[in-house]
Amino acid sequence: MALGIVFIGTALVLTIGINRSIVNPVKELIKGTDRIAKGDLSKPILPQGSDEIGVLSQSFETMRVKLLESLESIRMHNLELESRVKERTTQIKESRKRVGNLLKKVISTQEEERKRIARELHDDTLQDLSAILMRIDMCRLYPEKVTPEKIERIRTIVLRSLDGVLGIIQNLRPSLLDDLGLEAAIKWLFNIHLGEKGVNCYFNIIGVADKRFRPEIEITIFRIIQEAIVNIARHARAENVFVILKTDKNTVNLDIEDDGEGFDVYSLFQQTTHGTKDGRGLGLLGMKERASLIDGELQICSSPGCGTRISLRLPLEPTGGEYV
C-alpha cells in the first residue's frame, strides 16, 4: 500500500515536471508561431530553457526578427518606389506641358513668320512689281517716249525687288551658313540685330577657323545664337555682347554672355511651364530642346541686374568625311 502511494506520488511529480519542462514551452512556441502565421511580428518569442526546445524557440525568434526586418525593408522600398513614381509622374506632366508649350511656340512662330513674309511681299515686293508692270505698260503704249532714264528706273525697281526677295530668303535660311560657314553667318546675325542698336559685339573663335561641322551641328549653333541675340536685342538692354566658339577633341563649346539687365531663370521657366505667353521663356526652352535633340547640353545662368550667360556643349562624332 505504501509502495503504491510512493509510485503515485513519483508519477505525479514526474508529470508536473514534464508539463513544466516540455508541454508549457511547446504551448508557448505554438502561440508564437500562430502569431507569426497571422502576421503579428511585434511580440518576441521568449526563450524556453536551454534544451532542444530552447534552441527551437531561439530559432523561431531569429526567424521572427528576420521576417520583421524583411517586411520593414519591403515597406521602405515600397515608399521609395511610390516616391519615385510620383516624381516621375510629375516629370512626365511637366514634360508634356513643355512639349505643349513648344508646340504652341512652333505654331505661333510659323504663323508669325508667314505673316512677316506676307507683309514683306505685300508691302515691298508686290508694290515694286506693280510699279514695274505699270512702267512696262507705259513703254508698250508709248514706245516713242521710252528713254534710257526710264529703263534705268525700271532696272532700279527690279534690283530693289530682288534685294527684298533675297532678304526674305536669308531670313528663312541664310545662304551664308551654307556658302561661307558658321563664322560668316554669326557675324551677319550681329550686324542685322545688334549693329543698328549700337551694341558692341566681341566674337572669338578658338580652334574652329576653316572647319566645317556636320550640318545639324551648324544649324543648331546658328539657331541658338540667333535666338540669344534676338533676346538680347529685345530685352537685355546690353552694351556689350561676348561670344566664344571653340572646339576640343570631342566637343564644340559655345558661350554667349551679355552685360544687360538679366532675369530670374527659375521664375521664367516656371511661368513658361504654366503657359505664359512670354516669348523669351519659350525661346529659351526651345534652345534647350534643340540642343538635346543632338545630345547636347545647354545651361542658362542669369539674375536680375547681372547679365546673362548661355553655355552650349555639343558632342562631335567623327564621320570620316569633310565635316568635323
Q: What is the pLDDT along the chain (324 residues), one digit of tens a residue?
A: 666 565 565 655 555 555 555 556 667 767 777 777 777 767 777 666 656 666 777 777 787 788 878 888 888 888 899 999 998 888 888 878 777 777 777 677 677 777 777 777 777 777 888 888 888 888 888 888 888 888 888 888 888 888 888 777 766 766 778 778 888 888 888 988 888 888 999 999 887 666 788 888 988 999 899 889 988 998 888 999 999 999 888 899 999 999 999 988 888 777 766 655 555 677 788 888 888 888 899 999 999 989 999 999 999 864 444 455
Beta-carbon contacts of 287 under 8 Å, excluding residues fewer than 6 positions away, are: 223, 224, 227, 228, 298, 310
CATH architecture of the domain with residue range 2-82: Orthogonal Bundle (1.10)
Predicted local confidence at residue 320, as pLDDT: 44
Overall CATH class of domain 174-324: alpha beta
Beta-carbon contacts of 299 under 8 Å, excluding residues fewer than 6 positions away, are: 310, 311
Predicted local confidence at residue 301, as pLDDT: 93
Cite the beta strand spans of the chain per DSSP E: 200-206, 240-247, 251-258, 297-302, 308-315
Specify the pTM. Answer: 0.54
**DSSP reduced 3-state for 38:** coil
Predicted local confidence at residue 319, as pLDDT: 45
Q: Which of 162, 151, 152 is nearest to 129 (CA)?
A: 162
| Beta bridge mates, 113 | none
Predicted local confidence at residue 256, as pLDDT: 95
The residue with cell 510512493 is 6
Domains in the chain: boundaries: 2-82, 174-324
- Give CA torsion, residues 178, 183, 184, 186, to 10 deg: 100
